Amino acid sequence: MLDTVSIPRRFNGPLDSGQGGYSAGIVAGFIDGPAEVSLRRPVPLERPLEVACDQDASVRLLDGDELVAEGRPVESIDLDVPEPVSADEARDAVRRYTGSPDGPFSRCFVCGLARDDGFDIFAGQVTGRQVTASPWTPPAWAADDDGRVRPEFVWAALDCPASFAPGLAGDVPMGMLARFSVRIDAPVMAGKEHVVIGWPIEIDGRKHHSGGAVFSPDGTLLAAARALLVAPRQT
């Protein structure tokens, strides 16, 4: 079965490609339950992409003959989620956000400092912990008619804190999202302040493993993710 999707330009990560979490979430939308999505190349913007849903419930995103991403259902996600971060701690952590106002992700719709129409998730290190955190109040445009944030935007919000987290484990270059596994346990509601966190799991050469989570205002775990990021080759 074939379908077609297009990533709107406003949902970029790097300037000329789709934000990794959002793009992976679009693929996961064709899968029931928790999913793992592998990004094989930068996701083009404003271009029709074919979605091939296979009989084994896996999904492929295609740009012509090129494989852009592939997803599959997973029964569980191996993840040890840290204790919640309070809203006050998250607001304080934003002061230590390491994103650049003119770097490659400066216009990312989730974490870009040069955007005034994004999610404003600026996850910095929590004092005394190997965790990044940011408050996040999802806007109404990211939700359905009942106020529940659409899954692809939950995936997007989980991506950036997890992407910055490996830097807490050492002086490593920021990697690009290569694989993302996400489970959503309960609805994330628009208009309410949540806390999004990230944490390092393992550094294996250029492969950086990290986690991400969204907590409700009362500290309930709503969604969690495991990320594999691949750092650029050193020249």
Q: What is the number of domains present in the chain? A: 2
Q: Are residues 26 and 95 in the same domain?
A: no
Q: Is residue 82 part of a domain?
A: no
Entry pTM: 0.96
Q: Is residue 151 part of a domain?
A: yes
Per-residue pLDDT at 220 exceeds 80: yes
Q: Are residues 223 and 120 in the same domain?
A: yes
Q: Are residues 49 and 94 in the same domain?
A: no
Q: Are residues 118 and 143 in the same domain?
A: yes
Last residue of a domain, one of 46, 73, 100: 73
Closest CA to 104 of 211, 162, 180, 17: 17
Question: What residue numbers bound the domain in which 209 lies?
Answer: 87-230
Side chain identity at 80, as an amino acid letter?
D
Instruction: List C-alpha distances in Å: 71 to 19, 37, 153, 175, 212.
Output: 16, 4, 17, 20, 19
Last residue of a domain, one of 45, 73, 101: 73
Q: Per DSSP, what are the bridge partners of residue 67?
A: 62
Cβ proximity of 92 and 128 under 8 Å: no
Render pLDDT for 155-209 as a digit per residue (tens, 0 to 9). Answer: 999 999 999 999 998 788 888 999 999 999 999 999 999 999 999 999 999 999 9
Q: Is residue 35 part of a domain?
A: yes
Tokens representing 28 are 């996961």
Q: Are residues 96 and 68 in the same domain?
A: no
At 1 the pLDDT is 52
Q: Are residues 191 and 156 in the same domain?
A: yes
DSSP single-letter state for residue 12 = B
Q: Are residues 102 and 212 in the same domain?
A: yes
Q: Are residues 124 and 214 in the same domain?
A: yes
Q: Are residues 95 and 206 in the same domain?
A: yes
Q: Is residue 174 part of a domain?
A: yes
Instruction: List C-alpha distances in Å: 3 to 50, 53, 59, 61, 135.
Output: 6, 8, 11, 9, 35
Q: Are residues 147 and 215 in the same domain?
A: yes
Q: 41-79 burial by CB neighbour count: b if 16+ within 10 A, else e? A: ebbbbeeebebeeeeeebbbbbbeeeebbbbbebeebee
Last residue of a domain, one of 26, 48, 73: 73
Give the CATH number for residue 50. 3.10.129.10
In the chain, what's the furthest Cα-to-Cα distance? 50
Pick 1 or 223 by higher pLDDT.
223
Render pLDDT for 6-52 as a digit per residue (tens, 0 to 9). Answer: 999 999 999 999 999 999 999 999 999 999 999 999 999 999 999 99
CB count within 10 Å of CB 128 equals 7
Q: Are residues 96 and 157 in the same domain?
A: yes
Closest CA to 44 of 62, 70, 30: 62
Render pLDDT for 126-166 as a digit per residue (tens, 0 to 9). Answer: 999 999 999 999 999 999 999 999 999 999 999 999 999 99
CB count within 10 Å of CB 31 equals 18
Q: Are residues 113 and 12 in the same domain?
A: no
